[in-house]
Amino acid sequence: MLARLSGMLQRTLLQSRGTIARRALCSSSIHYQEQASQQGLAQKLERSAAPKTLTTYKKPFSPRKQYLFREYDRYFAQSPAVIIVQHYNLSGAEQTEQRIKLKAEAQGARLMIARSKMVQAVLRDTRYENMAQLFSGPSAFIFWDQDVADPLVAMRQAMDAIQRQRKIVVVGAVFGDVLLNTAMLKDFVNLPNIDQLRAQLLGAIQYPAQKLTAILQRVPQRLVGVLEQKAQGESGKPDSE
């Protein structure tokens, strides 16, 4: 009798757990669908071919994968620049610390731990397709989901923020349509900003003019000096008569 009651109780518990799991799965699916519908008008990457909608088994991708695809697509489309990094044994606390630091020090930059295969699928047939090769192994990327006044300065600030974390290694970046390796990226972020370039250009233009002005100012002074010396010399000569 007790064995039968125990069996019935176990079956009831299993059924209730299954019901809860199905409800949670349904709720999660609804959540991702709602998020996807809200992002329907979001900016997207331009593609030369339509993205895949079915798996190799001819089944639709799960709501979670569809949601991640749209999220990655939106991030790459909206961000003025993307920095790709690899992370090694980065703990959850270290990820949180790095995200807070980037947001505070790099004009709202965000760190996203990437699913490499998903990112490669997102970048396929887009202008960023050559960047897909950088997403290999434990990858992440830094991006901006808002407008920044000077993307070059923001990239430099992000590089400064992550260089203190030894578990994060920069492997490349994209600015506009240009793919940058690590050496090119370091040279690029050290370029002067637009205001500094204007000041340098103005200085280069003004310097010859200032030099010419100084020369022209020295000529009358020398001429006056010569005339004064000549006048003094003539006044010092005795009268011939």
Average pLDDT, the chain: 78
pLDDT digits (tens, 9 = 90+) for 134-174: 998 899 999 998 888 888 889 999 999 998 889 999 999 99
Strand partners, 82: 174
Which residue did the predictor score with more confidence, 204 or 159?
Answer: 159
27 has pLDDT over 80: no
37 has pLDDT over 50: no
- How far apart CA 79 and CA 145 sit, in angstroms, is 6
Tokens of 217: 């100012």
pLDDT digits (tens, 9 = 90+) for 115-129: 999 999 999 999 888
203 has pLDDT over 70: no
- How far apart CA 49 and CA 43 sit, in angstroms, is 17
Tokens of 94: 């270290």
Average pLDDT in the 66-77 region?
A: 92
Among the residue ranges 57-61, 163-167, 191-195, the one predicted with the least confidence is 191-195
- pLDDT-derived band at 79, boundaries 50, 70, 90: very high
Residue % of the chain over a pLDDT of 70: 62
- How far apart CA 31 and CA 37 sit, in angstroms, is 10
Average pLDDT in the 210-219 region?
A: 62
214 alpha carbon, distance to own chain's centre: 47
- How far apart CA 11 and CA 3 sit, in angstroms, is 12
- How far apart CA 95 and CA 114 sit, in angstroms, is 13
pLDDT at 176: 81
Which residue did the predictor score with more confidence, 183 or 216?
Answer: 183
- How far apart CA 159 and CA 157 sit, in angstroms, is 5
Among the residue ranges 9-13, 163-167, 179-183, 206-210, the one predicted with the least confidence is 9-13
86 HSE (CA, 13 A, CB side): 11
- How far apart CA 158 and CA 119 sit, in angstroms, is 21
88 has pLDDT over 80: yes
Can you give the three-state secondary structure of the chain, one letter per residue?
A: CHHHHHHHHHHHHHHHHHHHHHHHHHHHHHHHHHHHHHCCCCCCCCCCCCCCCECCCCCECCHHHHHHHHHHHHHHHHCCEEEEEEECCCCHHHHHHHHHHHHHHCCCCEEEECCHHHHHHHHCCCCCHHHHHHCCCCEEEEECCCCCCCHHHHHHHHHHHHCCCCCEEEEEEEECCEEECHHHHHHHHCCCCHHHHHHHHHHHHHHHHHHHHHHHHHHHHHHHHHHHHHHHHHHCCCCCC
List the one residue out of 91, 85, 205 whose CA is nearest residue 135.
85
List the one residue out of 81, 83, 82, 76 whose CA is nearest residue 51.
76
